[in-house]
Chain A
Amino acid sequence: MLESRAISKYFLNKRALEDVTLRIEPGRIYALLGPNGSGKTTWMKIAASLTKPSAGEMLFDGDPVGICSRRSVAYMSTEPYFYSWMTIRDVGRYYEDFFEDFSMELFRELLGKMELSEELKVKNLSSGMMAKLKIAVTIARRARVYLLDEPLNGIDLIARDRIMETIVGSLEEGVSLVLSSHLVEEIETVVDTAVFIRGGKIVEICDTENLRSEHGQSLADRYREIMQ
């Protein structure tokens, strides 16, 4: 579905990614795990065709990512990116105008679950409300791949489990979800495959079920072991 072939990215003399090869299979949930500056966001932005790689290629259904893949790949940035003049309703309309796979009905349903009013101005939202809005508008697309960069950032501890349930519960069969997060414990229960990334390189890719059954390790334990 989504395939990263030997992707490298350099910002002047700084290496952000080096030779990253990764295949995202349909129907699975992936976690990109790594410390700050490890290259998770850069990889996602390349997959969303927002950033050009310095070397290698990112393919979607065998073709380089670009305008066509944007129709099927839904990306959620960790930073706020909506226009400040917008209300939450305007954000929904904007997505409805540009994405054929966007469901306004689902968006409203998700807003209800997240306790967000459509009348609220984007510029007046708290960081937690903004995080919820980003998730709602991204998940309301019937995309084939979701790329969520730090979706739980800014969301309080109590709401995190419910948000994760909402995200996973909204996924249709056969779609893929790629999450990046520092909060390993919060996403551990939903992740099928963990991709550990450090210094722009993939250190390990492991199946979380195998990790538990064969090695008796949690994802958080493995993370500490690899990153320390």
Chain B
Amino acid sequence: MLTLFKYEVRKTLSLKIAVIVLTFVMEAIFLIGFLSGKGTNFQNDGSYVGFLMAGTIGLMFCGLLGPQLWALQSIQLLYRELNSKQSYMLFMTPNSSYSILGAKFLESMLSAVAGGLFFIALAAVDVLLLVVNTAGIPGEAYRMLRLELASEGLTANAALSAALGILVWWISVIAAAFFSVVLQAAIMNGKRFGALISFAFFVAVSVLWGYLKGFVLPHGNGLSGLLLFIGFDVVIVIALYLSAGWIMDRKLSV
């Protein structure tokens, strides 16, 4: 599966590089604004404000849209590979359907995790830079930031759980999309309107998932409720992966 994974990374590399390059351009704009402002002690409304704003907005766009674009590309790639002759590149090889799908899953999940960590780290560095500039020294700045967040009721545990929740939710969206694409490919066999049918399946799976979630789980609040929701999502992700693999193995003709 590692060889398959290597090629999945290669197939999606161009877009990843494009997003990262764009992010660094935005970071450079942000830093130009920051350094210009620092030179004047942020005392006047100089041109640094424009750079800071443009850089910040650009970074937010990259951070929010980048990982979504990566995921969309993975889904589109699976769709294309199951509905075109490129499928031979995968299914001619002595790999099981579970490995083929697993490599795609792994690539998407790691992209989400790595992308998430990258953008969170970048945001943390930039926020810290701004705070340090007003507070003086890094230790004090960090203490100020922590106090500020704690006063809003955001503890490290809650932040980590929320981040994990978002990550699992995101992976579950990808899992539902992969399952929908595989199901469509097995039924439609490359016929027209496959993308629309896939989307319809995706909506149906998502609605059913949401219904099951509300039905099966108690409407608990707090950390334990969140962890329960995450656990439920993980189980469904595994079930969707196994079902999609089974369909590919038994029903899919390319």
Contact = CB atoms under 8 A, between A and B. Distances in A.
Interface stretch (A46-54, A109-117, A168-176, A183-191): A46-54
A71 B93 CA distance: 7
A77 interface: yes
Given A11-B189, A79-B85, A85 B253 contact: no
Contacts of B93: 70, 98-99
A200 to B, nearest CB: 16
B7 interface: yes
Interface of A: 11, 45, 48-52, 67-68, 70-71, 75, 77, 79-83, 85, 94, 97-99
B65 to A, nearest CB: 23
Interface in B6-24: 6-7, 10-11, 14
A175 to B, nearest CB: 18
B88 A68 contact: no
A52 to B, nearest CB: 5
B88 A98 contact: no
A71 B92 contact: no
A67 B252 CA distance: 14
Given A67-B94, A97-B6, A98-B93, 19 more contacts: A50-B87, A50-B88, A50-B91, A50-B92, A52-B250, A52-B252, A70-B94, A71-B94, A75-B88, A77-B88, A79-B85, A81-B85, A81-B87, A81-B88, A82-B86, A83-B89, A85-B10, A98-B3, A98-B94
Contact of A80 (B6, B11, B85, B189): B85
Contacts of B92: 48, 50, 70, 75
8 contacts: A50-B87, A50-B88, A52-B250, A83-B86, A83-B89, A94-B89, A97-B3, A99-B93
B134 to A, nearest CB: 47
B40 interface: no
B254 interface: yes
B38 interface: no
A70 B97 CA distance: 13
B13 to A, nearest CB: 9
B89 to A, nearest CB: 6
For the complex of A and B, 7 pairs with smallest distance between CB atoms: A51-B253, A98-B93, A81-B85, A81-B88, A70-B94, A79-B85, A71-B94
B254 A50 contact: yes
Contacts of B10: 85
A1 to B, nearest CB: 17
Nearest to A90: B10
A149 B253 CA distance: 17
Nearest to A73: B92
A104 to B, nearest CB: 16
B143 interface: no
A81 B85 CA distance: 5
Nearest to A95: B93
Contacts of B253: 45, 50-52
Contacts of B95: 67, 98
Interface in B89-110: 89, 91-96
Contacts of A49: 91
B146 interface: no
A67 B96 CA distance: 6
A52 B94 contact: no
B3 A81 contact: no
A217 to B, nearest CB: 36
Contact of A68 (B3, B6, B87, B94): B94
